[in-house]
Structures are given as structure tokens and as C-alpha cells.
Amino acid sequence: MLVYNPAFLWALLLGSVPILIYLLMRYRSLKVRWGSNYVLERAIEKLKKKRYWDQILLIALRVLAIMAIAFAFARPASHAKDAGVSGVHHVVVIDTSYSLLSGQRDASRWQRGMELVGRVASTWGRSDVWSLYVLDDNPRWVVDSGVVTTPEATLATLQALEPTETSASLAKAFETLIAKFPDASDVEITVLTDDQETAWKNLDRVNVPANWSPTIYWVNPPLDDRVNLAVTRVRFSAERALVKHPVRVFVSVKNFSADPVRDAEVEILRDGAFFDKESVSLLPGQETEIHRDLVFDDDGSHYVTARVASDALDYDNVMHAGLQVEPTFRLLVLRDGAHAGKFDSSWRFLDVLHRVQEYINEFDEPVFSHGKLTLSQTDADPDPALLASADIVVLDGGRTLTPELAEQLRRYVAAGGGLLLAADQNVSKETWNDLLGSAKLLPAPLERLRTEKGGGPRFRTLARSKFEGLSLKAFDTPEEGEISNALFYVWWDTAAPTPPARILLNYDDGAPFAVQLPNELGNVLMTTAGLNGWWNNLVVREFYVPLVFRLSSEAASGGIFPRVVPLRSPVRLRLSDPETVRGVTFQPVDAESVVLQPTDTAAGRVASANEGSAKSGLVSMLTAREGGAAKRVYYGVQGERMDSDLTPMGREARRRLTEDLRAVEVADWDSFDEALQRARASREWHHWVILLALGMLVGEKLLERRFV
């Protein structure tokens, strides 16, 4: 027989009090001599012999009654103890995935569940052993066989936990528990998690030993409404755009419910202010994408927010994306002065585009008042300063590629430059494959030049429905022209791009037209046909200007670190004019700001928050400069919505949980308290000891009457 509260065993010494009282009272008797004393002494002696065992029994009952009461306070138990101390081993398993935040705004499952766990923890006695296992992206023992000191300390450890963006595997948790407690007869396990099907996946694969029999309580507060929509992705067509030029934002929304959702409103906010909204209707499990074209009037850092109406889980209803808006993009075209051919370079037609930007309309207003492409060209090898001043460098068959130029371009891209390769008919396949391939600047190796009769019946066209990248996906809709009207009579067949290279735009037969090769900071974009109007009709089509602008935006996006980053990924900022920077701070989601120490890299002076943000949301970098000027740059941290599906587990999984694992499901304190009483009554004996003490006291009173 073992006890939960051994400190009360010292009270067993109180059982000696009746003996001490008897002894003290024995020596305080008053003797009076009188005539018949002899007769009385003989009568008393005879009576004493007759009552001797009655007196022993009376004192024994008094002693045992007191000791029984003290023993009851010590809470005797009939089970063996773990870790050599009193009581069972209390194990708490907490699921901190953000599906626990589902429920009403004033009482989520997390709040109700933690309240129940805290109340049961307050019933543990001092010196009890307990452990805490947390299920997040790094499942671990927060407390491993710790000793309970005070209820306040235990509650403080529990209250320090909070939900995170992660998924939980209860199957792996039970595998860990079985391995740690193979003989679990003295283990009491409290599991706080919901009935989410994804959390209990693979439960049937857990090998539960036949003799593994802990007491398991599953804290599962009820959830009446399981309707849950989530914004799963927000992306701009490019992360750098021009002032007052439309940039398209794509918003993906998914219905994680088991029921269809009709006319749910998706709102789009620009820099925190309402911009537009659209209604969507989704079947169970369906995901849809909407898009809007936004225009920003000011340069600098901006952001967009997409959100859906409040539902069972608010945590995944909002998502952000960052954007850098520039007043101009600077294009540098590399040419050979020896090339006298009119169509041997993109310069001629880009120069025409440059001049179009100077046109005025009938009201004497400029056609392009903002967001221009400024054009420059060089016939010589560009010096580093000239390259550094360009957002985009254009290279095509109008310039002879040399090893020196390839090395210059490699350094330019490594420093964050955007390289636009236009593979026209004047390109040398061997030279490009050799020099650009060696410099890791070729998105796809060139294989064969295909030439058809200009204006003839054989040509290639661009696909309208095979956009792999977002930068050119605006041509999915015809606002900027029907891009499939472009005709190509000369093009290059290429090998399949090798990741990380990716196709942005295909021909109608699936072959690549625009291929992107992202660098750590820089960016390489290649078209497999020329942009110079030689053997194609691009320059006479209405979409030529939008196409060049969007290709330029995609190429120039390499000039900055991404403004949309995954969860817990580095957030970085390249600092312009670093000599004027006084300090940089990073503001994560729901956390204190962090002061960063910029470092020198190949891309220049860079501030980096290497740990990123632990939560999805809007984060920022604040740069303080001399003179008190400050600039804030916004980033959208987007985590995978891995815990948004609130579909409950199937019948078989629930049966295995309640039968094979013998888990007791509790939803509120009344059901929890009832389950605790049923389980603990089978191994605690203090109530029986109290009844025994009462019986002894009754017997003692009855025995006293024999002496009256």
C-alpha cells in the first residue's frame, strides 16, 4: 500500500496521544483511606482483572481511529509508483497546431481545453511526477519526469504554450509514449487535441501492446460549426513593378469544409485600405483563384492583403504579399557596332518603344506619364559601374559573346542584376551553350534553330492557356491583347530546363518560349525567339508593349530579395547607400522587433533576419538613415495551410482510440471530473480508511458504555 501525500504519514504519531493521556491520568488518581478499604480493594482488583482486555481494546480503538484519519489524509493507493515517488506518473500531451484555435471568438478549443488541463493539474499532489509532451513542428518533452512543486508552477509551464502553424501527428505521439512507458499501469495520460482527421492519420498503424494499459483522457471540446475557408496563396505577377502600371495579384481560396460554401466574399486590400471584393462559391475541398490588376501611385514598398469572412477558424482567413514599386526600369542593350544589319539587334525595336513613351495624346498629355523604361546601349565591354546602374541587361544575337563578357554578366547577376537573353537567329549556339552554360546563366541549352518562310503558312504561335509562371499570366485574359496572335517563323528548340529553371510561357505545342533561371538574388530570363521583329510579327501586335513591360518586370525582380517568403525562412533586404544607414530592425508577426547587423555580401550590404517569422502575416524591415529619415519595407510571410481541414476523424479511427487504447473522451469539466472519480476510485483507498476510522470511533463509544 503506497500513498500520494507521504507528508501526512508524520501524523500517524498522533496515535500515541491516547496512550499518553492514559498514562498521565493513571498517576493523577486520588487515594482516600476508609474503614472498608480492604473489601473495596479486593472488589476493584477483581473488577480490574475482568476489565483488563476491555481497556486494552478501548485504547487500541482510539489509537487506530486517530491513525486511520491521518492515513486517510495521506491518500493510500494500491498501485505501484513511478520514479520512486508517491502517486502515478501524470503525462500531458498538448497539440499546439492552430486547428485548436477553431471555435467561437470568445472561447476557442484551445482556451477551453487548456482550462480543463489546468484544472486537472491542480488536483495533483506535491511530489507527484509529471511529464509534458508538446506536438508542434519539433515534437519534444518540455518536462520529462519532473516533480510537482506547486500548482502555480505547473500552470505556468502549461500557460507558456501557444498554438503554432504546424501539423500534429497523434499516431507518432502514441508511438513515443509506448516506447517511453512500456509498463504503463501507473501512468495517467491527458491528451489535449481535437478530432481532426489529419491529426489522427495512421493511428491504425500504431502497434499497441496487449499489456499497455495506462489511463487515457482525451480532452476534446466540442465544435458545432466546421465551415472553414482559407486564403492559401497571394502572389503578384512580379515582385517589382512600375509606378502607375497595372500589376496583377492572384489570390487562391480553398474550401476545407465538408459542405459547399456559396457566395463567400473575398476582399482585397491595398496597403491596408479596401480595394475590391469578389464572391466565390466552392464545393467541398475545392480551391479557386481570383485576380485583380492593381495600380500604385507612389514608388517604394507596398503590400496587398486578401481576406475572407470570419468562420470556424479565423487564423487562416488573411494573407499578405509584399511588392516593390519603382519609378523606372533601366535597360542596357549590349550591341556590336560592326553589325550594320537593321534587324540584327533588339535595340531598334526597343528604341521605338522608348520613343513611344515620349508620345503625347490629343490633349498634349504624355501617353506614359509614369513608370517608363529608360534605354541605353553600349558597343564596348560594359564597365562595372555601367552594369551596376542597369536594372536589366539585354543580350541577343546583335552582340558577340566573349569569355570576358560572360564573366562580367555572371558577376552582374550574382550581385542582383536581371539578364534578359533573346535567342534570335544570329545567336551562336556553341558560344552561348559554352560560355553562358559555364557561367550558369543559361536557363535551357540551345539545340536547333528552326526557320520557316517568312509570311508563309508554317509558323509557331504562343499558347494562351499554358502559363506556368505568374509574370505572364495576365495574358490569360484578353485585356492586354490576344497573345496567341503572335507568329514566329524563326525559333530555337531547346533542351528541357533543369530546375531551378522554370518555364514561364509556352508555344502552343508545349515547347518553351520564355524560361527563367533564378539566382540567389539575380535573375536570368530567356526567350527562345528574338524580340527584334526579325521573322516574327511581335512589334505590330497590340500586346507587344505589355509583353515587353511584363518581361522587364520579371527580369528586374531579381534586383531585390523576395517580398513573399515561406514560414521561418530568412527575410532579407539589400541596402542602398549603405553608408547613410544608421540601423535596421526587423518586425516579425506578434513578436518583439529585432535589431539586425547588416553584413557585406556579393549583392552589397544586406540585412538579414535568418530565423524569419514563426507565424504567417505581414512583417517589415525598418531602415533608419542619417538625418532621421526612415523607410519601412513590407514582406508577406505565407505558411502552408496544413492544419485548416477541420473534418473529424472517421468512425474506425475513433473506435480504435476509445476501445483499443481505452481512451475516455471528455468535453467539459463535469465529464472530466466524473471520469477522474471513476478511474481514481479503483486505486485510491482513503475513503475506505475514513469509513474504517468512523467504525472504530463508533466501537470506541459503545465500549465506553461498559465502564459506566
What is residue 265's DSSP assignment? Answer: E
pLDDT digits (tens, 9 = 90+) for 449-459: 999 988 888 89
More confident residue, 490 or 22: 490
**Most confident option among 327-341, 350-364, 541-555:** 541-555
DSSP-assigned letters across all residues of 517-543:
EE-SS-EEEEESS-SSSTTB-GGGSTT
Mean pLDDT of 83-89: 56
- The four Cα atoms 460, 466, 469, 475 give a dihedral, to 10 degrees, of 80
User: Is 617:166 a contact under the CB 8 Å cutoff?
Assistant: no
Q: How deeply is 442 buried, as exposed, middle or buried, from its count of CB atoms within 10 A (0-12, 13-18, 19+)?
A: buried
Q: What phi and psi, each to the nearest 5 degrees, are found at residue 26? A: -65, -35
Q: Which of 83-92, 142-151, 626-635, 697-706 has the least mean pLDDT?
A: 83-92
User: Is 420:395 a contact under the CB 8 Å cutoff?
Assistant: yes
- pLDDT on residue 652: 85
Return the number of other C-beta atoms located less than 10 Å from residue 408's C-beta.
20
pLDDT digits (tens, 9 = 90+) for 15-35: 788 888 777 776 656 666 665
- pLDDT on residue 23: 75
What is residue 588's DSSP assignment? Answer: -
pLDDT digits (tens, 9 = 90+) for 591-603: 899 999 999 988 8
DSSP-assigned letters across all residues of 59-105:
HHHHHHHHHHHHHHHT-EESSPPSTTSSS-EEEEEEE-BGGGG-EET
- What is the grid cell recorded at 692? 474504517
pLDDT digits (tens, 9 = 90+) for 667-695: 999 998 888 877 765 456 767 788 888 88
pLDDT digits (tens, 9 = 90+) for 256-301: 998 999 999 999 999 999 999 999 999 999 999 999 999 999 999 9
Mean pLDDT of 698-707: 75
Task: Of 430, 407, 409, give the one whose Cα is nearest residue 421.
Answer: 409
User: Is 359:366 a contact under the CB 8 Å cutoff?
Assistant: yes
Q: Which of 377-381, 382-386, 426-430 has the least mean pLDDT?
A: 377-381
Q: Is 468 helix (H, G, I), strand (E, B) or coil?
A: coil
Q: How far apart are CA 220 and CA 241, in angstroms?
A: 48
Maximum pairwise Cα distance, the chain? 158
* Cα dihedral sign, 321-322-328-329: negative
Return the number of other C-beta atoms located less than 10 Å from residue 316's C-beta.
26
pTM for the predicted model, two decimal places: 0.80
User: Is 346:339 a contact under the CB 8 Å cutoff?
Assistant: no
Band of pLDDT at residue 531, cut at 50, 70 and 90: confident
Q: Is 434 helix (H, G, I), strand (E, B) or coil?
A: helix
Task: Of 577, 582, 566, give the one whose Cα is nearest residue 622.
Answer: 582
The overall average pLDDT reported for the chain is: 86
CA angle 136, 227, 103 (to 5 degrees): 55
Mean pLDDT of 233-255: 93
What is residue 169's DSSP assignment? Answer: -
Task: Of 479, 545, 471, give the one whose Cα is nearest residue 239.
Answer: 471
> Percentage of the chain surpassing pLDDT 90?
48
Q: How far apart are CA 516 and CA 530, in angstroms?
A: 16
- pLDDT on residue 83: 35
What percentage of the chain's residues is helix, strand, coil (to nearest 5)?
Answer: 30, 30, 40
pLDDT digits (tens, 9 = 90+) for 151-171: 899 999 999 999 989 889 999
- pLDDT on residue 410: 94
- pLDDT on residue 36: 64
